């Protein structure tokens, strides 16, 4: 089954404790992206990647890092999480054609205390 998977689905952590949210897709997509969803703000892009070893900032990159060492994986790293990073995070992937649909993972709900 074609899908985007994320782990963990739920995470409660404390300020300053490094964490990684994994994202993996099995559709051989070149493009991958991370979003955060906050009430009243919709989805905002954090980082995106157009292919292996190619990443770029989205609209809200502060406090986040990403890497793209393999085509299928695009982990999101919070080196020192803060409470304002409490949010619902989504990973998405697609081909790089501008007409292509992005497919989303199930989401990761992160709470930083």
Residue 34 phi/psi, 5° resolution?
-115, 140
Stretch that binds another protein, among 12-20, 37-45, 61-69, 71-79 (CB under 8 A): 37-45
Report the distance separating Cα 81 and Cα 19, nearest Å.
Answer: 8
Report the distance separating Cα 71 and Cα 51, nearest Å.
Answer: 7
Is 99 a binding residue for another protein by CB under 8 A? The answer is yes
Give 77 or 88: the residue with its C-beta nearer to another protein.
88
Binding site for another protein (CB under 8 A): 4, 30-31, 33, 35, 40-45, 48, 50, 56, 58, 90, 92, 94-107
């Amino acid at each position: 089954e074609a899908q985007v998977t994320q782990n963990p689905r739920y995470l409660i952590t404390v300020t300053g404790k490094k964490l990684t949210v994994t994202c993996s897709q099995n559709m051989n997509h070149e493009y991958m992206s991370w979003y955060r969803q906050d009430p009243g703000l919709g989805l905002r892009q954090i980082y995106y990647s157009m292919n292996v070893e190619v990443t770029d900032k989205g609209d809200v990159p502060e406090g986040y890092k990403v890497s793209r060492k393999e085509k299928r994986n695009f982990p999101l790293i919070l080196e020192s999480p803060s409470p304002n990073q409490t949010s619902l995070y989504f990973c998405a992937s697609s081909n790089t054609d501008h007409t292509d649909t992005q497919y989303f993972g199930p989401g990761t709900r992160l709470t930083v205390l």
